[in-house]
Amino acid sequence: MSLAAYLRRRLLLMIPIALGVTLVTFFMIHMIPGDPAITLLGIRATPQLVARLHHEWGLDRPLFEQYWLFLLRILRADFGQSLFYGSSATRVILGASGVTLWLIVYAGVLSILMAVPLAVLAATHRDGFADQVVRAIPLVGMGMPTPWVGIMLILLLGLTLHAFPVGGYGSGIFGHLYALFLPSLTLALGISPTLIRSLRASLLDSLESDYVMTARSKGIPERRVLLRHAVRNAIISSVTILGLEIAWLISGTIILEKVFALPGMGALMVDSIYRRDFPVVQGITFVVALLVIFTNLATDVVHSLLDPRVRLE
């Protein structure tokens, strides 16, 4: 199957998935107890005011009609009006998405920068001291809850050493790189153990493979054998793992954004659930679902490009 035909098929498959996501989210958020009008009005929540807000927000219409209107709006990339802010939910979500995308990409890059050298080090010193350390430390890292790691990094690098800001987003590319370093590092520490271990395992496989032996016997320098032949082949299987991890990252940012006071989609999601700000919750879920679907698709495509043996079908 050609790449174009494959992409077309996968994109068509997205439609029922996205529809399913909207259906589940919409009815779940509307079915759980709690009322955005009562929450917004607090002790001023008189029946008259509650009814007035319900009418303004269209919440007095039948649920199925509300769902239908929601679907029609999505076709125009419009998630409706945020109940809390009284302005476009799409714009509120877009405003928050920048931080989250930055975090995910930054954490992905950092995790690769950490995982590749460490995995190479471990694989080339198999069962040696370096290997034991590289295998043990990430396990400890995996066991530590991400928010706690975040707070520890803030205490150490932010407050004690004053090396990084303890919150906020910075401005400009370098500002973002600087301000988002700690949260991205926290996320990267969370995903790199799996990456390191899978990369190490496949490196060991390829280091023992025939083509590496052939390369060595031809007198190619070890460094070149390692980087051009062994790592390049070993990394293919790790791409799939990284893709899965990035999908995990998207959800992992939710708590971390709260810890680092980052105004991203995760923080907005949590606030909007508390407020029962239906349009924003539905919008974010939809956007996140699309992100995950696209990440998986991109992973499959990249995998096939890296490994000619893999066919897209």
Partner 1 sequence: MSGAGNQTGVSRGSFGRISRRRFLRSAAVAGVSLGGLGSLAAACSSSGTKSKASGSPIPGGDLIFARTADPSSIDPSPVFDNEAIWTVLNMYDCLYTVTSDGQGSKPWLVADHQLASDQLTWTFTLRPDIKFSDGRPLEAADVQFTLERSAKGPNGYILASVDSIDAPDASTVVIHTKHPWGPLLGDLSLYSTGILPKDLGGASASDFFQHPVGTGPFMFDSWAKGQQLKLVKNPHYWQPGKPLLDSVTFTVVPDDNTRVLQLRGGQANVIEFPPFSTVASLQQESNLSVDLFPSTWVGYIRMNEKKPEFADVHVRRAISFAVDRDSIIQSVLFGHGEPANSFFSPSWGFYDKNAQGLWFDPTTAKQELALSSYPNGFDTSIAIVAGDTVNSAIAQIVQENLKALNINVTIRSDDLSAHNALLHHFEYDMAPDYYTLDIGDPDENAPWCVDPIRGGTHSLYTNYTNTDVMKWGVQAERTIDPAKRAALYAKIQETVAQEAPFVELYYAPYIYAHQDSVGGWTVYPTGNYHLEEAWLSS
261 contacts partner 1 (rule: CB under 8 A): yes
Query: Are 288 and 273 contacting, i.e. CB atoms less than 8 angstroms apart?
Result: no
Q: In this structure, which amino acid lies at residue 225?
A: V
Distance CA 64, CA 52 (A): 21
Q: In the bound complex, what is the minimum distance in angstroms from residue 23's beta carbon to partner 1?
A: 22
20 contacts partner 1 (rule: CB under 8 A): no
215: closest CA among 206, 205, 207, 225?
225
Part in contact with partner 1 (CB under 8 A); list of ranges 17-25, 38-46, 137-145, 299-307: 38-46
Q: Which of residues 82-101 bind partner 1 (CB under 8 A)?
A: 84-87, 91-92, 95-96
Tell me, residue by residue from 126 to 165, as one string, x for binding to partner 1 by CB under 8 A and - for no binding.
Answer: -------------------------x--x---xx--x--x
275 contacts partner 1 (rule: CB under 8 A): yes
63 contacts partner 1 (rule: CB under 8 A): no
238: closest CA among 193, 207, 283, 268?
193
Cβ closest to partner 1, residue 141 vs residue 263: 263
Q: In the bound complex, what is the minimum distance in angstroms from residue 227's beta carbon to partner 1?
A: 41
Of 14, 39, 300, 302, the residue at the interface with partner 1 (CB under 8 A) is 39
Part in contact with partner 1 (CB under 8 A); list of ranges 5-13, 31-39, 57-65, 118-126: 31-39
Q: In the bound complex, what is the minimum distance in angstroms from residue 266's beta carbon to partner 1?
A: 11
Strands (E), the chain: none
Q: In the bound complex, what is the minimum distance in angstroms from residue 57's beta carbon to partner 1?
A: 13
DSSP result, 69-118: HHHHHHHTT---B-TTTSSBHHHHHHHHHHHHHHHHHHHHHHHHHHHHHH
267 contacts partner 1 (rule: CB under 8 A): yes
Q: Report CA-CA distances (Å) from 170 to 165, 176, 246, 285.
A: 9, 5, 23, 26
Of 7, 54, 201, 263, the residue at the interface with partner 1 (CB under 8 A) is 263
- Main-chain dihedrals φ then ψ at residue 57, nearest 5 degrees: -90, -5
Distance CA 192, CA 238 (A): 11
Distance CA 17, CA 289 (A): 9
Q: Report CA-CA distances (Å) from 84 to 37, 71, 177.
A: 9, 21, 31
Of 169, 181, 183, 292, the residue at the interface with partner 1 (CB under 8 A) is 169
Q: In the bound complex, what is the minimum distance in angstroms from residue 153's beta carbon to partner 1?
A: 11
Tally: H helices and E strands in the chain: 14, 0
**Residue for token pair 């995998």:** 303
Q: In the bound complex, what is the minimum distance in angstroms from residue 253's beta carbon to partner 1?
A: 14
181 contacts partner 1 (rule: CB under 8 A): no
Contact positions vs partner 1 (CB under 8 A): 32-36, 38-50, 52-53, 84-87, 91-92, 95-96, 151, 154, 158-159, 162, 165-169, 258-261, 263, 267-268, 271, 273-276
